[in-house]
Structure 1
Amino acid sequence: MNAALFPDLVVNGETVPHAVVAAETQNHTGPKGKPGIAWRKAANAVAIRTLLLQEAARRGIAPEPAEVGPGRFETEEEALIRGLLDTAIDAQAPSEDAIRAEWLKDPSRFRAPPLWEVSHILVACDPRDEAGREKALTKARALTAAALDAPKGFYKLAGEESDCGSKSAGGALGQLGPGDTVPEFEAALREMAEHEITADPVLTRHGYHIIRLDGLAKGAVLPFDAVKPRIAEAMEKAAWARAAKDFVAGLVAEAEIKGADLKNPEMAG
């Protein structure tokens, strides 16, 4: 990308080096063949970051990098911006009445984890082996067709064809809950109705699965007191995000910026 093709980014009289915007473009996307869109998105992001750093300097905030992982710390700029936002934004904790009102909108959103009674037929393969994967998929599709054609014969089919040790139990895996199986398998379960057989084989690191959902126990709706902390945390985070957005909008409204278009929502990162 030729940075010389794009205008200088100037924020309140401070010219931002083209190299800074160029480095930021890797975090943004645009249509193929139109690098200017990614550049303008990056310029907007850098303009906002520059505004925040300028405000932190105006308020005399000192950087105190926090540890964000084992042996990893914030950069000085990240620490300054965090310090500014911690100082400038005061998101009030929601009242109990507000939390209860949010819960009452739809208490069924807050449930205990579900339980799935599951059987499957596994056609084992290494997904990284293209030839082996294609061969396994062909077999899995044939087994899927057979299972859908004669659902009552699923257990016999699993006992004859599955590559999983569960074949001795007709493919039965027993009861599973969230986190008990690999993500792709669980994602399929979440979309299935009771007694349904997957119409397409499900690929995981173990191979292809034909899944039958033998039973579904939806988690019970949780009482208000059990979910109150979770709702309060979500509401406080949402309030903080709104306040941060308003704070940045205030800085933008008072700033003199050239080389960025912070009023165009399509140029958001």
Structure 2
Amino acid sequence: MNANLFPDLIVNGEAVPHTIVAAEAQNHDAPKGKPGIAWRKAANAVAMRTLLLQEAKKRGLSPAPVEVGPGRFETEEEALIRGLLDTVVTVIPPAPDAIRAEYDRDPARFRAPPLWDVSHILVACDPRDDAARGAAELRARDLTRSALKAPDRFARLAAETSDCGSKSSGGYLGQLGPGDTVPEFEAALRHLTEGEITATPVLTRHGYHVICMNAVAEGAVLPFDAVRDKISEAMEKTAWAKAARAFVAGLVAAAEISGADLRRAVH
């Protein structure tokens, strides 16, 4: 193994087995033919985890895994790291005046969910099937050109060509709000203005969509009392994250690490 590309990882005198870094490397992207990049990302992640676990053990903490999903519990390492951060990071809830000032800075950020009145044309395919996806994309691009050329005929085009049951109503899906559709479809809706048709087909798990935004109803600005608790929670989370980063940066500054570059990672 090339020692320059895959250096030994040592954290405060503790040698980390190559197998652990190699397993972590599978979770990190890198350009084709450049495994050293994935290795460096993995080494940083493993070094950080090792450093935190060393500190937790130094403080005599014991793991107490909690349920993080239906039937899914933390690992002992995850529980130790969480316990460490819970021990060392304390945050004072923001003062009422600070919460009000955050709201007043830009009340337009706090709106009720929007409503989108939407129609679409679906070219169904299994995105995992390369051949089917390619053929569907070609057909969807052709339908997009037709829709953009004659937007007033969108309903008729949908009725004649769509693979969705909504074709019986000209592709009309009704009024949708956040969470009512798959993430890729919703992401496209957030960038469309009233009367606009997607310039390129949108791929979801169902296939390619040509989307027409019939109308948009922006949510009204919410009063301060309706969002006070959410603002306070967000400010507290931000303060906690800042304090946690400062704690980790202190550990990194005092550590002796080779085979990883955590000082750059925490700045």
What is the TM-score of this pair, normalised by structure 2? 0.84
Residues 1:184 and 2:184 aligned together: yes
Aligned amino acid, residue 79 of structure 1: A
| Post-superposition offset of 1:114 | 0.9
Match of 1:229 in 2: 229
CA contact (8 A) 1:3 1:18 kept: no
Encode CA deviations 1:187-217: one digit per residue, 9 max, x unaligned.
Answer: 2221111011222233334443332211110
Question: How many corresponding residue pairs?
Answer: 266
| Post-superposition offset of 1:53 | 2.3
Task: Name the stretch that deviates more: 126-135 or 52-61.
Answer: 126-135
Match of 2:65 in 1: 65
CA contact (8 A) 1:3 1:22 kept: no
d(CA) in 2 for partners of 1:19, 1:128: 31
Match of 2:195 in 1: 195
Counterpart mapping for 1:1-269 below 5 A = 6-128=6-128, 130-265=130-265
d(CA) in 2 for partners of 1:38, 1:128: 25
d(CA) in 2 for partners of 1:192, 1:88: 45
d(CA) in 2 for partners of 1:7, 1:165: 57
Q: Classify the secondary structure of the residue corresponding to 2:262.
A: coil
Asked which structure has the greater CA Rg, the reply is: 1
C-alpha distance 142-14 of structure 1, shift in aligned 2 (>3 A)? closer
C-alpha distance 255-135 of structure 1, shift in aligned 2 (>3 A)? closer
Encode CA deviations 1:47-92: one digit per residue, 9 max, x unaligned.
Answer: 3323322222222212222222333332222222221111111022
Encode CA deviations 1:116-155: one digit per residue, 9 max, x unaligned.
Answer: 1222333444445555544444443333333322222323
C-alpha distance 29-2 of structure 1, shift in aligned 2 (>3 A)? farther
Q: RMSD of the alignment, in Å?
A: 2.8
| Post-superposition offset of 1:31 | 4.3
Calculate percent identity across the aligned residue pairs: 73
C-alpha distance 42-133 of structure 1, shift in aligned 2 (>3 A)? closer
What is the TM-score of this pair, normalised by structure 1? 0.83
Aligned amino acid, residue 175 of structure 2: Q
Unaligned runs of 5+ in 2: none
Unaligned runs of 5+ in 1: none
Q: Classify the secondary structure of the residue corresponding to 2:26.
A: helix
| Post-superposition offset of 1:4 | 9.3
Encode CA deviations 1:94-121: one digit per residue, 9 max, x unaligned.
Answer: 2222222222222111211111122233
